[in-house]
Amino acid sequence: MRVLVTGATGFIGKAILARMALDQTLELRGTVRNNAQKIAYDVPTVHVGDLAPDTDWSEAVSEMNTIIHTAARVHVMRDSASNPMDEFRRINVAGTLNLARQAVRAGVQRFVFISSIGVNGNQSVLPFSESDVPNPVEPYAISKLEAESGLRLLAEQTDMELVTIRPPLVYGPNAPGNFSRLINIISKGIPLPLGAINNQRSLVALDNLVDLIVTCTNHPAAANQTFLVSDGHDISTTELIKLMGVALGTPVRLLPLPVSWIKMGAKLLGKSEVAQRLCSSLQVDISKVVNLLGWRPIISVEEGFKRVAVGYLNEKNC
């Protein structure tokens, strides 16, 4: 089987190639934005430039059986775009559909699209499922839903199969974003006012997500399906911090402030969105992927946190 991975130097893309490079029966190819980016494991590389509505993917998609599409415009902390929503749509929607149309013309048989649980919403009362009515709030999630819709229509009109995966927060060694910043704070023993949060959050370890992605590249029952994924063990923000402290070997200093105080303080600091993510619940139901594909997480939350801690401490000691 010949597999193309877009975003091959990204957090998820690199992990996919590391896993699939172990399979000698696969012919892998990765795409990068510029020639300065390098892919490990001697995987052939195609420089395609930006993910855009007019990107030429012909060399990258030629003779490929499967595409795993991880490249995207993700959350931008300090967005310089004059209209962020337009830019998300230009890259994540128009850019993705441009790739998919060229994939169809090249005879690609399956397109595995990495979407986001944000398509379902940014907080849940009951666990999210694949049958929920989408309720994206942020521009990134809106663009992912619009890309899903366009890809689904294309799959219905052609012979190319579509598999859509919506992960929640993905964590692993050297994870980007807020998770990395939280680890840094925990490792320094800085007191956190998060000792009384009784929410429930679904997370997914990078190893678990990659295992499902690899499963979806060739499992017959995955064709034209959407899957939610997690570690199968939901935890509160307070539990997350305690478990990460154990993994890092660092005493955790938690102050049991009421959630209402946290939200009030965050609002005054203009950080209401951060407080919402820390204090609200977001759970996903993975029974569909378990029952339909027979898939289960390959590592536990505790093991996932240990791997994060090892990666963090190794990098810190370099």
Scanning the chain, the segments in alpha helix (DSSP H) are 11-20, 58-61, 84-88, 96-105, 139-157, 178-187, 206-216, 237-248, 259-268, 272-279, 287-293, 301-317
Q: Are 2 and 64 in contact (CB under 8 A)?
A: yes
The residues that are catalytic are: 140
Q: Tokens for 248, please give them.
A: 């890092």
Measured between alpha carbons, how far is 95 from 84 in angstroms, rounded to an integer?
A: 15
In 3-state terms, what secondary structure has residue 195?
coil
Q: How far is CA 184 from CA 178, 179, 292, in A?
A: 10, 9, 38
> Who contacts 310 (Cβ-Cβ below 8 Å, separation ≥6)?
173
Measured between alpha carbons, how far is 8 from 70 in angstroms, rounded to an integer?
A: 8
